[in-house]
Structure 1
Amino acid sequence: MGRTLAIGDIHGGLRALKQLLNEKVEITEEDTIIFLGDYVDGWSDSAKVVSYLIELSKEYKCIFMRGNHDDLTHQWLESGTMTEKWLHHGGQSSIDGYARLNEEEKQEHLRFFSEMQNYYVDDQNRLFVHAGFTNLHGPEYEYYSTGFYWDRTLWEMALALDENIKIDSPFFPKRLQVFEAIFIGHTPVTRIGESFPVNKANIWNVDTGAAFKGSLSAIDVDSKKVWQSDPVYTLYPEESGRN
């Protein structure tokens, strides 16, 4: 039986992704690899990360969540839409990377972006989503899709939750009762002083700050074994002053 692996936010760190998958995790064709989004906007290999993932999916079973940065880059590729905030938060690295791709490659990337999933539920009722959801009955009841890759309230709620509260308590959040486990990215755990994936209630946050001074992480969703790349900035010494 292969493993089911969840991979945190990559943010253009192709060197870290290759190291993680090939040297640390040592993926096999039996594994299912679930990427939690934010493949672009950060280190200089943003466009190359997408090309790598497209090729990876031809050999391995890969499932790709849509991240907020992926959505922003998709909008720019498709219509030229950009904002100063996006440019400030890594968008320029994607623009620079895509300047080196030809039109055929850009069209292939557009298909990749359009085919991403907002969320995925496996056969063990585990949810995989970039950011979160707000509806008490689950993501299929959401009115707007943007929350799947922008919402932070799910994680903020888990952080604020009394660790002694029982799941059968009337005060236990209904959102957390919908799934056996929830795997997210989006909000780096480095913000709370952590460097490994963090578990709060039944949520696992796998974003370990690869966009900044952290590593890129993978977690086996069954055993909870974690693998990590070297801190990503050390793999990009020529860019280390960026963050």
Structure 2
Amino acid sequence: MSRTFVIGDIHGSYRALPQIIERAGVAIGDRLVFLGDYVDGWSESVPVINYLIKLKATHNCVFIRGNHDDLVMEWLKTGEYTEEWFNHGGRSTMEAYNTLDDATKQVHILFLESLEDYFLDENNRLFVHAGFTNMNGVTHEYFSKLFYWDRTLWETALALDTNIKKDSPFYPKRFTHYKEVYIGHTPVSRLSETTPVNKANIWNLDTGAAYKGPLTIMNADTKEYWQSDPVHTLYPEEGGRN
């Protein structure tokens, strides 16, 4: 029986990827849903994309678009970037891509262009990088960039009174459309956590791989999860993101 695995933010931590795939015992028939932010942070964004492109050829993969992925795609296509991006993980990505030939860059651009804003599976489980703001759900969202920039969904989940019933007029309508919502984008390390955090029906799998945390893969059916070594220990020669 095939399983659905969901993978949190990678942020250039190529050395952590084979660890979680092996530790989870991923099989050919399993579905892998990646929540985005494959690049920026650690120095191996290019090997991460190469790995994912090869994985797509052999496995059932769903690749969600993260905000960092969108920023890198725009830079690769136009040469334009912001200082904020450059200082929050973009520097190492830019340095890596500047060593590549144009043909390889084009392959990566095509991959980044193919990323999905969200994925809704057959069990009404939503997978999205950051969140959404429309109270009627993702199909009513006005601005697609919110799928990979929004933080209000997670902030609302954290602030929600656990005593409020789902049929209460005060219960967030956004939480009622989907059985579960899987997100990344906002590291749970901000809550002093390094494992997936569940609030209401929202699961946050960004376990801080860009910083001092591990990379995480979770079985969406059983909620069992596996983690890499803390990523900073895999890159002792680097400082990671600040």
State the TM-score, normalized to the length of structure 1.
Answer: 0.98
Task: Give the SS at the match of 1:239.
Answer: coil
Q: 2:127 aligned with 1:149, yes or no?
A: no
1:79-138 alpha-carbon deviations (Å, 9 max, x no partner): 011010000000011111112322111111011010100001000100000000000111
1:189 alignment partner AA: V
Runs (5+) with no aligned partner, structure 2? none
**Counterparts of 2:72 and 2:163 in 1: how far apart (Å)?**
41
In structure 1, runs of 5+ residues without a counterpart are: none
Partners of 2:18 and 2:232 in 1: CA distance: 14
Q: State the distance in 2 between where 1:205 and 1:242 align.
A: 20
Separation in 2 of the partners of 1:242 and 1:116?
Answer: 24
Name the counterpart of 1:26. 25
Cα pair 1:184 1:205 within 8 Å, conserved? yes
Q: Report the equivalent of 2:197.
A: 198
Change in CA separation of 1:233 and 1:94 when aligned onto 2, cut-off 3 Å: same
Distance in 2 between the 1:49 and 1:109 partners? 11
Indicate if the aligned counterparts of 2:128 and 2:182 stay in contact, CA closer than 8 A.
yes
Partner of 1:168: 167
In 1: Cα distance, 2:4 partner to 2:166 partner:
26
- In the TM superposition, structure 1's runs of 4+ consecutive aligned residues that sit over 4 Å from their partners are none
Rate the CA distance shift 1:90–1:180 in 2: closer, same or farther, 3 A.
Answer: same
Q: Report the Cα offset of residue 241 of structure 1.
A: 6.7
Other-structure match for 1:88: 87
Q: How many pairs does the alignment contain?
A: 242
Q: Equivalent residue for 1:208?
A: 207
- The residue type paired with residue 192 of structure 1 is L
Residue 78 of structure 1, CA deviation = 0.4
The CA distance in 2 between the partners of 1:201 and 1:84, in whole Å, is 36
CA contact (8 A) 1:234 1:240 kept: no
AA aligned opposite 2:49: V
Look up the equivalent residue of 2:221 and give its one-letter code.
D
Q: Is the 8 A contact 1:152 1:187 kept in 2?
A: yes
Q: Which residue of 2 aligns with 1:177?
A: 176
Deviation at 1:166, TM superposition (A): 1.5
- How far apart in 2 are the matches of 1:115 and 1:190? 30
Give secondary structure in 2 for the equivalent of 1:237: coil
Instruction: Give distance in 1, aligned partners of 2:136 and 2:92.
Output: 38
RMSD of aligned Cα (Å): 1.0
Contact residue 7 and residue 217 of structure 1 kept, 8 A: yes
Contact 1:35 1:65 in 2 (8 A): yes
Deviation at 1:242, TM superposition (A): 5.8
Q: Match of 1:34, as an amino acid? A: V
* Identical positions, percent: 57
Label 1:99 to 1:205 Cα distance change in 2 as closer, same or farther (>3 A). same
Cα displacement string for residues 2-41 of structure 1 (whole angstroms, at most 9, x for unaligned residues) = 110010000000001111112x112111110000000000
